[in-house]
Chain A
Amino acid sequence: MLLIPCPWCGPRDESEFRYGGEAHIGAPANPGSLSDADWADYLFMRNNPKGWFRERWMHAQGCRRWFNAVRHTVSNEIAAVYRMGEPPPPAPGPGREGET
């Protein structure tokens, strides 16, 4: 159960949120100009990195706001959250491991 810091409400349990996949995949302004392959690429292809990942979340059981988070897909550490439309923060260093 992740503890996700909603930029509007503060830290809340993961069960209050809906996941929205990779962030910063803007819908094409003019889909009609895209080839079938490019359209399929936009529609279906997403990155699935081992490491830091910018992704979308929605606080479904709270403020119902969409926002972005930078999460490490191995450690689940959340390095930053930021509101829709805000620029992504610089990529964090390697994931935190060991805090004994």
Chain B
Amino acid sequence: MSGAFRLAAGGRIDRAAPLRFRFDGRPYEGLKGDTLASALLANGMHLVGRSLKYHRPRGIVAAGADEPNAIVQVGEGAWTQPNARATEVELYDGLVARNVTAWPGVGFDLGAAASLLSPLLVAGFYYKTFMAPGRWWRRLYEPALRRMAGLGRAPAAPDPDVYDKRHAHADVLVVGAGPAGLAAALAAARTGARVMLADEQAEFGGALLSEGDEIDGRPALEWVGRAAAELASLPEVVPLPRATVFGYYDHNYLAIAERRADHLGPGAPPGLARRRLWRVRARRVVLATGAHERPLVFADNDRPGVMLASAVRAYLNRYAVAPGRRAVVFTNNDDAYRTAFDLADAGIELAAVVDARSHPAGERVGEARRRGIEVLAGSALTGTRGRRRVAAVEVRRLDPGGSAVEGPARTLACDLVAVSGGWSPAVHLFSQSQGTLRFDEARACFVPDRAAQAVRPAGAANGTFTLAGCLAEGLAAGAAAARLAGFGDGTAPPAPLVRTARDGPIRPLWFVPSGRPAARDGGRHFVDLQADVTAADIRLAAREGLDSVEHVKRYTAAGMGTDQGKTANVNALALLSQAVGRPIAGTGTTTFRPPYTPVGFGLLAGRDRGELFDPVRVTPMHAWHVAHGAVFEDVGQWKRPLYYPRAGEDMAAAVARECRAARGGVAALDATTLGKIDIRGPDAAAFLDRVYTNAWARLGLGQCRYGMMCGQDGMVLDDGVTTRLAPDRFLMTTTTGNAARVLDWLEEWLQTEWPGLRVYCTSVTEQWATVAIVGPRAREVLGPLAPGLALDNEGFPFMTLREAEVAGIPARVFRISFTGELSFEVNVPAWHGLALWEAVMRAGEPFGITPYGTEAMHVLRAEKGFIIVGQETDGTVTPLDLGMDWIVSRTKDFIGKRSLLRPDASRPDRKQLVGLLPEDPGEVLPEGAQLVAARPARAIGLKAGRPIPMIGHVTSSYSSAALGRSFALALVKGGRGRIGATVYAPLVGRTLAARIVEPVFYDREGKRRNG
């Protein structure tokens, strides 16, 4: 048996397919076709959570995406999803779910504690309550806020599911497959246009799935079936059920979350992507997103058993579930009378229809009276009773103005209250597309006004609430969209026949007085059930001067839950309008933002996780590094060996050994990742003169030069060695992480400012592999490998290029040095990179050649005072700050020169590059440590002391094998004038002192580069 409240007949559920599930640890049974919500209701479970602030019991209110209360966590362990709406969770066998709002549990009534806290939880409590005292923060506020901020729990283990992404183009994208959407899709598809039809539900039909409507004299679902079958038969149509269009972005770009395996649970076939993210560029969009019913705001309207009237119909008709045994309908419009009829037809006792209108006279009202249903016109619910479920309501007469109730109260026993305050078109996507809204007084709702993109709303989303109107508007919108996309002549197919009831007008009623004095009424009139915001909160915000709807939203948190206030927003802004005495049209709505319903991160990440998160670039020698135990570091997307530890070595020992080899014997570095740009053209030299701070025109063939680039602001952008390969050709090298940026920079100037220069730039980083052979014995290694190449200082001078065969491979050999040692950088086509590396390691074996990584490279260059862009510079450092005046030409113009002439660039207190020698040679200063001029009176700690002026910071800091001590580079205000002075690095609990020195620590004469 699938629950005591299951009706004997009807519904779109499969009575032969029982499904077991657990909610909050208890076992239940439902049927195929149920949602978790309908299955719970079939078992008599209304209470599914506790409210956020006041811990009041809360029940299922809606039957779709608008559900504010029934927020559940589905699944267990790694396979779990927070913040799902029970009304949208399709039941499967073995489903496990628990409520996420009730702490410590649904049944446990926190009662006393909640009411104790409630004075603290009024509107603006985020801003008021948490100001003081400070010690309360850690003990009370933070734990409370954490519980309140996130409704679900993120899984602790990696998501075991696979998620897909697809890109699609559509001539017409129709959102929503209710009557208007199906009609639009049919009209568009029949023209041959490429049509996508996306709907959030498991089957097409929209509201028709929950209603007993007729089309052409037959059950409406027969028409739905025919329409769906016709669409499925057309080759250019993509029907997407279980697909929520959650975002409408610029230029008709929409995002769809398709749920492909959620309804199968953890037992879904392996390999089937759980969800698929569609990114659709549509020529035209038809928004047939339907409408959401509004609750009425009356006292204690949050008691479980109080539901939307349309939701009651959905549970009765679609799921064959009786949401109660004895019902009261409370409405201000004719539409809710349908609920009364459906309840009566299902054999459920109907206490009365309470109608706020004094003289309701629509066709359905007449029918109710004919059926003998008691209609209490001009009346309102002034309160509800019951512990965990409504047990009775109180009815009084509403005065004609709607601002007070009068006369005696009548109590009606009931366990279900079906409420309708009218309908709000689901304008979320239209509004996301930047379309404007307009308040329609007659229909008492916001409707789409002006579109900002190629979009057209249709049906209930457009404020057209009759079935006949939805069908006609859908057909017209679909045909028009197809024509604008280039298909058909825009003629809408004939609309099917539907009878429309003659409804009377709605009576807007935004607040139902309870009979208490007006000033004290509204504290239990809930406007936003999920954010636990009452009418009194809205009024308090207005009294405190917040009259903008955006401010009130943030102050009260109304509309800020995971449901984005789908049932709450219009009531909230109407109450605000009343409170400040302004028409609703003048208040406007808050901004609708994506996503329409919550979207899991897994969907957005798709396959871009783990190794596929970001491309990994490796050099041709990577396999050798791996095989030889290298520890890698990420440099941009590159994997570079950081050091090569030997057995028993820690990082410090390995780096010291690698440094000693480079300084005392021979060592090798894989320098392939250095950015390389081939610059060609008759004006190449003139171009380099403009982009580098130093002069290039007279650089000889085969000569290398160190260059520095600045931005237009005069700050260092990049540096590197560039070589003249031919009169009209240079090879530029850049910092590893900056290669793409520098190429962009060069191309920008060539294309936008200097189109007359005949220069072409080509990235050749990946075309060449580079091995640097470094150390006093470098010649002994390279010599046998390149027998045709003279290696002595005269035959192959420093800062020159030679082309030669190295290990039988055609190579460019550069005699340049980033370590201060004798050094040859051998470049070969990347294909030969590994062969060259292995040949070098073999040839170097007799000399103890040592592969070294980037850490040793950094130590060696820092010992020489060579800067690294991005480490010694941070976008605020000029070449002059680095003490590199010699590289800045006084005679020619270059990018950034004008900025270097500003007085600010020569301010004596600018931060300048200096060296630091810590007082304790065993202490390595932390990189980034701030420096102060005088030793602080006491060690800094977590308690704030007097502020100390900071004069600089450490940029690079290492322990040096060559120096036998620690050293550092730093940027210090007026640093060059402080040489010899002592500075202090205050760290937590201790202060380190260091002496300022020249920033070159090793071989200041530069003799070692000649070997």
Contacts and interface: CB of A to CB of B under 8 A. Distances in A.
B899 A39 contact: yes
Interface string A1-42: 111000000000110001010000011000110101001100
B252, B454, B712, B897: most-surrounded residue (chain A CB, <10 A):
B712
A93 interface: no
B748 A58 contact: yes
B751 A84 contact: yes
B893 A31 contact: yes
A32 B751 contact: no
Interface string A69-100: 00000011000000011000000000001111
B450 A66 contact: no
Interface string B432-458: 001000000000000000111111110
B691 to A, nearest CB: 13
B253 A31 contact: no
B898 A32 contact: yes
A60 B251 CA distance: 20
Contacts of A76: 250-251
B452 A64 contact: no
A43 B712 contact: yes
B752 A97 contact: no
B812 to A, nearest CB: 26
Interface in B440-495: 450-457
B902 interface: yes
A84 B454 contact: no
Contacts of A43: 712-713, 899
Contact of B755 (A18, A20, A56, A84): A84
Contacts of B249: 1
A1 B250 contact: yes
B625 to A, nearest CB: 30
A36 B902 contact: yes
Interface in B507-549: none
B753 interface: yes
A76 B251 CA distance: 8
A60 B744 contact: yes
B451 A85 contact: no
Given A1-B253, A65-B751, A34 B898 contact: yes
A2 B893 contact: no
B903 interface: yes
A93 B252 CA distance: 22
Contact of B453 (A34, A60, A64, A99): A99
B79 to A, nearest CB: 31
A18 B751 CA distance: 14
Interface residues of B, number: 32
Task: Tell me whether chain B's interface is mostly helix, strand or loop, or mixed.
Answer: mixed
A97 B450 contact: yes
B452 A98 contact: yes
A9 to B, nearest CB: 15
Given A36-B902, A76-B251, A97-B450, A84 B456 contact: no
B898 A31 contact: yes
B452 A97 contact: yes
B253, B452, B752, B893: most-surrounded residue (chain A CB, <10 A):
B752
A66 B752 contact: yes
B190 interface: no
B603 to A, nearest CB: 17
A25 to B, nearest CB: 10
Contacts of B203: none
A60 to B, nearest CB: 7
B29 interface: no
A34 B899 CA distance: 11
Contacts of A20: 748, 752
A20 B663 CA distance: 46
A98 B430 CA distance: 12
B752 A84 contact: yes
A31 B311 CA distance: 71
B728 interface: no
A60 B751 CA distance: 13
B973 interface: no
Contact of B753 (A14, A26, A39, A40): A26
B303 interface: no
Contact of B253 (A3, A26, A100): A3
Nearest to A30: B893
Given A36-B903, A66-B748, A75 B434 contact: yes
A64 B747 contact: yes
B452 A75 contact: yes
B281 interface: yes
Contacts of B252: 3
Interface string B623-654: 00000000000000000000000000000000
A3 B251 contact: yes
A27 B749 CA distance: 10
Contacts of B751: 65-66, 84
Chain A to chain B: the 3 pairs with minimum beta-carbon distance, closest first: A31-B898, A98-B450, A3-B251
Interface of A: 1-3, 13-14, 18, 20, 26-27, 31-32, 34, 36, 39-40, 43, 56, 58, 60, 64-66, 75-76, 84-85, 97-100
Interface of B: 249-253, 279, 281, 434, 450-457, 712-713, 744, 747-748, 751-753, 755, 893, 897-899, 901-903
8 contacts: A3-B250, A3-B252, A20-B748, A32-B893, A76-B251, A97-B451, A98-B451, A100-B450
Given A58-B744, A66-B748, 7 more contacts: A3-B281, A32-B897, A56-B752, A58-B748, A66-B752, A75-B434, A100-B451
